[in-house]
Amino acid sequence: MAVSGPIYADWDPARYGAFRDLRLRPALDLLAQVSELPSGDVVDLGCGDGAVAEALATRFKPEHPLIGVDASAAMLERAAARMTQWANPLYNSLTRADIALWAAETPPALIFSNAALNWLPDHASLMPRLAGMLAPRGVLAVQMPRQEAAPSHRLLREVAEQLFPGRFPVAPSPVLRAGDYAGMLLPYGEVRAWTTEYLQMLDPVLQGHPVRAFTESTAMRRFVQGMTAAEVADYVSAYDAALAESYPALPDGRVRFPFTRVFFILERS
């Protein structure tokens, strides 16, 4: 969920969790495609606040210990609190680590990553490295947004450049096409890869555009954290106005928000 280091401030679990159902559905769709596992741990890589923990624990425990890994102290604190809500803790352990550098102590049965690896660069090196950690017949299951060309994300860049030319250069998204992941991982075993566009219906919000309410806890963070309060106000106002043109409100105030996600599952031979 989070990458350590000075580039990213810590995450806001409350804002991120405001769209829990929409963010959880792709994780459950990914999990439904995971077949039987060999012996070993199940690793929730980029676990965030533990949103997927219940589903993973229900599916794989007690045969497979469940390990949560994330770089965000705020998210892990929320995940730890979630553990106390159950008679049997969902996670066997939680580890704070930069998921770009994390390495398993023993070969995992499953590395499951939901909307986390899109924050890391160099997928041509990252994905084979994760695949190489797996136990024989182990599984790497990954879901990532691929939304950079959509207005929700493209306008973040365009508005920043219009208001503050040259101040907020943003590297291209590292997320590739589904077929690219299949090609890079085929040497490790059987790969299934696909793309899904979710038509999300966003309810009206008290202030601003509903799509901004969705992006402000994720993609928008890397822009506004480098601005003053006055600059943030100008930026948000301009972004809201641009979103209103790309995502007009329906008569009931809701907006249609198509969102594209890439999935792949590697079953290591």
Distance CA 121, CA 112 (A): 18
Tokens of 81: 């609190």
Task: Indicate whether this model's pTM tops 0.75.
Answer: yes
Q: Give Cα 192 distance to the centre of its chain.
A: 19
Residue 268 φ then ψ, to 5°:
-70, 135
Other C-beta atoms within 10 Å of 206: how many? 5
Q: What is the Cα–Cα distance from 235 to 229, expressed in whole angstroms?
A: 10
The answer to whether residues 115 and 144 touch, using CB atoms and an 8 Å cutoff, is yes
Residue 106 is encoded by which pair of tokens?
């023993």
Q: What is the pLDDT of residues 7-47, one digit of tens each?
A: 334 444 445 445 668 889 999 999 999 999 999 999 999 99
Residue 239 has pLDDT above 90, yes or no: yes
In order of their start, the domains of the chain are 13-268 (3.40.50.150)
Q: Is the pLDDT of residue 242 over 60?
A: yes
126-142: pLDDT as tens digits:
999 999 999 999 999 99
Residue owning tokens 């890994």: 69
